[in-house]
Amino acid sequence: MNAAVAEGQKAPQAPVRSFRNVFTATGRLRNRWADAVAEPDPAQALERLRRLRDVLAARPAPAGVLWVPFVASVTDPRLLGLLGEEDFTALAEAGRQLAGPAFTLEQAWRPLIAARAARGEAAAAGALLTELYWAPGSDEAARDAAASDLARAGHRGPEHLRIYAARLARGGPLPPGVPERVAEVLRVGFTDDADTLAAAAELAGPARPAGVPGAARALGLHRLRVAGRPAEAREHFAAACTADPHDETALLGLLAAWIRTGEAAGTPGWLRGRCRRAAPGGALARLGELIDVLTWLDADTDESPPARAEHVGTLALEAYVGAWFAYARGRLHLVEGDAERAHAALDPVTAFAERNGGADAPPGRDLWIYHGAWAELLTGRARDRGRAAVPWALGCLLWDADPGLTAGLTVSGPPAGYARVGAARRDLAAGTRPGAEPGPLPAGAGTPERLEALRTALGEAYARRGADGMRTLLRHPLYRRLPRADRFLWSGLRSLAGEPEEAERLLGEAARLGHTRRAHLILAAHHLHAGRPRPARRLLDGCTGAKAEVLTAWSEALLPEDVPEDVPDDVPSAARDGAPALVAARRLEALGSGVPPYVASARGALWLRGGDAARAARDFEAALSAAPGTLPDEAYALAAAARAAADGTLAPDRRPGAAVWTAAERHPWAEWVLSVTALADDPEGFPLNRAERLRSLAERPGASADLAVPALATALAAAGTASESPARRAAFAAILHRLAARHPGPATHHAADLTAAAAALAAPEPEPGGQTSADRPLHALVTAALALEAGERERAAGRLAGVRGGTRAHRACALLADALAGRPPSAADGGPAADGEPAALGLLRAAALAGQDPDAALDALATAATTAAATTGDGGGNGGSDGDALAAVVDLTRALPALCARPAPGGGRRAGPAHAFAPYVRRLAEHGAEGLDPAVHARCATVVGEFALAGRLWRQAVTAAERGGGEAGEARGDYVRLLCHRAVAARQDGDPLRAARLLRHVARIAAGGPVEVASGEERDLR
């Protein structure tokens, strides 16, 4: 025990044996005590004192008088070395139990404390003093003495620091030794460990109000380095600097606190000045350099970085600023283009940040993770983050870098003021044009958010206005804070339009520095646009995601155009089969239905390229409905054109508006299809200036004029002849005459003449210069029709007779002229019909011959009927323009029996079921043959091989004759002969059973039985 403790103890009064003591219990105990003390043998003396101790401990009354001096005699130096731990424990416990009105615990334990100290047992003495301080019965004086003894003995364990803290909190003058011990504990710095700082912080709280030097500094160090609350640390360090401006530890702590709060840019000017005036190489100067770097990284200034990453790495400031030192170094490596070193610096920082989230997250957590992700992406170490929740800026970065990394992520919404940017970024990530209108870069938020806002604006500007929209943004100060690989990427993207070689160099650098996937996608799209699918394919190897799939599909669609005759083995076999675009479309179709709209749009374009307009329309419409207003206008034009090509018409609700027409003008194929379809759908409403554009489209370089010009001539002629407006007919005729002049040929001249004739019908005008009716048969036909309408038969015949030429139209005019004049056809036109002659010419020839040579007229009519029947398509007599015309012009009820009765050309037998008149026989049966005897009709059906129809008609003839009371024998006989013929045919066909059933019908009918078909007999008579 120290001297202060010893001085506080008076020498104990030795017990004296007395006879009087035998009369009282206390006296007898006192005599025993005196005998024990007088025992010359220390061991015996101690043993006797132990027995007396136990007696006193059990008898509080005498102990109240004897205990304190008794303990002093037990701890006498003569016996001190013999005392064991159990002796001290027993004496301490007995003193604890006996303390009361007669003596205090302090009085009972002071001898023990002194004995422990004398034996060098400081810890045991300190434990007694500690318990004494907190004992309920200890007064302030006793506690002050205990605290003083502890402090002067050098005790600074946690239990002792709590005593000092409690004494500091109580206020008032401090006992000797306590101020010095507290000041010693508070004297901490950046080299002390966490336990030491925690101990100092425990004292610093109550010490700071007491004015103990170093309290604020100790609190600041603890909050900064142990508790991780740099904002609180900054307040304490500021107070410490105010109290002592020369306290360098406090200055260092204040600088470190500004950095660790993520607010290096806000460091006060006076503090920066102290750093600049500090000795070079010292901690103050080095922290000042780091603050300058961190300020530049977050600033909107156009200055160069204040230091390079390599120099920052030599500052060795981890002990002061923790992860911020590695972060600053890693950021500079990203800016300088060294992604590997950036990852080495940022990876531990990122791991620390991801381990410490929630309420205890360090201030720079999101910043560190964001730039750590940049380093991961640029070094090919991007990782799947599972279903984690990530900040908006990090989500934006991952959306761009690799869509597969964001599949399961939950990305938070954009910060306040960034709603428009967030909407634009979602559209860009989905591959669609941003729907929100562009605006200035928002202010506020952190550096990741501002960098992503700039990158969003760059992408938005490129999507809307191309390179011109990016120029201002590339000069924005924040642009210099992006990783160098990203700067190369954006600069290369801007250069694509005007400087393709420079763009390829810049994008190549971006890929070399780690921006491989995005740079390769951009370069691949550039090569495809330039018609170079091979380099595009090489760049796309290893790229994943929907955009890569789209570009790969297009490279496959275009590759055969770049393949020489000796196709290498690496070209897909499907490309050699002639359907590369369809194969590429199916490749995208394999991605499923849940693809981004731009994938469906690209797939639609591939279907179009492969000629499948229906599928193209389906995919375009699905893409446009999924993302209305976000895909380029060309997609709307192509969708409308694909639908028009698939349906052959434009439904009223699908007709393109002005914006689609404007977009279609940038895509010749779409404009061509839309214009031709609109012309056919609405010839009266189709703008004439667009008809002129159609002519330009048909003649444009690269167009297949041999196909386009005739098709356009046909469409314009159809519109012109269908129009009810004389002015529009004349306008279409003029366009066609110009087209025919530039592209002479039968199709264009025919269309021009037809439209001119229609115009003349609507409003007869003088003939255009350079042509007369002599070489314009269509015009002659129209003017002849006008003359007939006016009752001028001779004038009409004269106009037709004036036509000269060898075409069918010229022959038609000559035949009509002969028919109108009532004369037989001339030698040139009156002979047999030529092979392939239309039925209409045959009808004209028959009409011309009817008055002079009925037999020849009938032959001509038969030939025309045969030709017309061949055009009915299904052989049913229900379709075909020539067949319909024949039925409309000729009275089949009168002409058909004569036609069927005539022999085939050249004599001989007619061809049975394939007879050319069969369609007309069926037509009469289906539509009614008023005035035609059923028996005659039945004979016609028999002649042309329609046996089932003939049987039905014979039954009608027999029934009608019998109901009318007439003779039906001839009809029955003809019907029986028909059934016999069919029975023989069935036997020859190997069906004797059916032949037998038919003969059974013959027997019944020949015997005069009913001709009606009984149930179950229909199959036999079919």
Listed in sequence order, the residues at least 6 apart from 383 whose beta carbon sits closer than 8 Å to its beta carbon are 376, 405
Model confidence pLDDT, tens digit, residues 402-423: 666 666 778 888 999 898 888 8
Of 362-366, 492-496, 939-943, least confident by mean pLDDT is: 939-943
Look up tokens 């615990």; give the residue: 105
The residue that leads in pLDDT, 465 or 218, is 218
Statement: residue 563 has pLDDT above 50: no
pLDDT at 241: 93
pLDDT at 830: 47
The residue that leads in pLDDT, 839 or 971, is 971
Helices 969-988, 934-943: axis angle to 10 degrees equals: 20
With the CA atoms of 199, 200, 206 and 207 taken in that order, what torsion angle do they form, in degrees rounded to the nearest 10?
150
Statement: residue 1015 has pLDDT above 60: no
Q: Which of 209-223, 431-445, 878-892 has the highest mean pLDDT?
A: 209-223
Residues, the chain, total? 1022
Task: Please state the rounded mean pLDDT for residues 614-632.
Answer: 81
Report the amino acid identity of residue 957. A
Percent residues over pLDDT 90 in the chain: 23
Q: How many other C-beta atoms are found inside a 10 Å radius of the C-beta of residue 206?
A: 19
pLDDT at 276: 93
What confidence tier does 755 reach under pLDDT thresholds 50, 70, 90? confident
Look up tokens 């003449």; give the residue: 753
Nearest Cα to Cα of residue 384 among 352, 409, 412? 409
449 within 8 A of 414, measured Cβ to Cβ:
yes
Question: What's the CA angle centered on 280, arms 278 and 282, to 5 degrees?
Answer: 75
pLDDT at 876: 44
State the Cα–Cα distance between residues 557 and 579, nearest whole angstrom. Answer: 8
Q: Which of 781-790, 804-813, 969-978 has the highest mean pLDDT?
A: 969-978
Q: Which two tokens stand for residue 717?
A: 């002629």
Of 102-106, 582-586, 867-871, least confident by mean pLDDT is: 867-871
State the Cα–Cα distance between residues 979 and 976, nearest whole angstrom. Answer: 5
pLDDT at 852: 61
What confidence tier does 914 reach under pLDDT thresholds 50, 70, 90? very low
Statement: residue 289 has pLDDT above 90: yes
Q: How many other C-beta atoms are found inside a 10 Å radius of the C-beta of residue 646?
A: 16
658 within 8 A of 698, measured Cβ to Cβ:
no
Helices (H), 627-667: 633-647, 658-664
Helix (H, G, I), strand (E, B) or coil at 225: helix
pLDDT at 664: 77
Sorted by where each begins, the domain ranges of the chain are 262-365, 545-631
State the Cα–Cα distance between residues 756 and 782, nearest whole angstrom. Answer: 9
Nearest Cα to Cα of residue 784 among 754, 826, 820? 820
Percent residues over pLDDT 70 in the chain: 82
Model confidence pLDDT, tens digit, residues 56-111: 888 887 777 788 898 988 888 988 888 989 989 998 888 888 888 888 888 888 99
Task: Please state the rounded mean pLDDT for residues 668-674.
Answer: 81
Look up tokens 């001779």; give the residue: 794
* CA-to-CA separations, 936 to 92, 895, 941, 950, 1021, in angstroms, rounded: 148, 12, 9, 10, 20
Listed in sequence order, the residues at least 6 apart from 469 whose beta carbon sits closer than 8 Å to its beta carbon are 460, 461, 462
pLDDT at 1000: 80
Task: Please state the rounded mean pLDDT for residues 325-338.
Answer: 97
Task: Please state the rounded mean pLDDT for residues 298-322.
Answer: 93
Statement: residue 844 has pLDDT above 70: no
What value does the mean pLDDT of the chain take? 80
Q: Which of 150-164, 637-651, 878-892 has the highest mean pLDDT?
A: 150-164
State the Cα–Cα distance between residues 588 and 18, nearest whole angstrom. Answer: 119
664 within 8 A of 637, measured Cβ to Cβ:
yes
pLDDT at 2: 44
* CA-to-CA separations, 455 to 428, 442, 450, 479, 800, in angstroms, rounded: 11, 12, 9, 9, 77
pLDDT at 224: 93
Helices (H), 19-139: 25-38, 42-58, 60-74, 77-80, 85-98, 105-118, 122-134
State the Cα–Cα distance between residues 902 and 862, nearest whole angstrom. Answer: 9
Which residues lie across from 390 on neighbouring strands? 411
Statement: residue 328 has pLDDT above 80: yes
pLDDT at 308: 96
The residue that leads in pLDDT, 709 or 761, is 709
Nearest Cα to Cα of residue 746 among 779, 714, 716? 714
Statement: residue 561 has pLDDT above 60: no
Nearest Cα to Cα of residue 362 among 231, 220, 196, 192? 231
Task: Please state the rounded mean pLDDT for residues 938-955.
Answer: 78
Helices (runs of H) and strands (runs of E) counted in the chain: 55, 2
DSSP state at residue 494: H
State the Cα–Cα distance between residues 609 and 598, nearest whole angstrom. Answer: 17
Statement: residue 210 has pLDDT above 90: no
Which residues lie across from 389 on neighbouring strands? 410
Look up tokens 């900064």; give the residue: 224
Statement: residue 267 has pLDDT above 90: yes
Q: Which two tokens stand for residue 314?
A: 């030599």
For residue 767, report the phi and psi dihedrals to the nearest 5 degrees. Answer: -65, 145
Listed in sequence order, the residues at least 6 apart from 435 whose beta carbon sits closer than 8 Å to its beta carbon are 423, 424, 427, 629, 630
Helix (H, G, I), strand (E, B) or coil at 413: coil
DSSP, residue by residue, 263-284: -GGG--HHHHHHHHHSPTTSHH
Listed in sequence order, the residues at least 6 apart from 42 whose beta carbon sits closer than 8 Å to its beta carbon are 78, 79, 82
Nearest Cα to Cα of residue 943 among 917, 925, 975? 917
What confidence tier does 878 reach under pLDDT thresholds 50, 70, 90? very low
pLDDT at 542: 83
Statement: residue 824 has pLDDT above 80: no
Task: Please state the rounded mean pLDDT for residues 261-268.
Answer: 94
Statement: residue 774 has pLDDT above 60: no
State the Cα–Cα distance between residues 7 and 855, nearest whole angstrom. Answer: 165
State the Cα–Cα distance between residues 533 and 526, nearest whole angstrom. Answer: 10
Taking the alpha carbons at both ends of the chain, their separation in whole angstroms is 137
Helix (H, G, I), strand (E, B) or coil at 410: strand
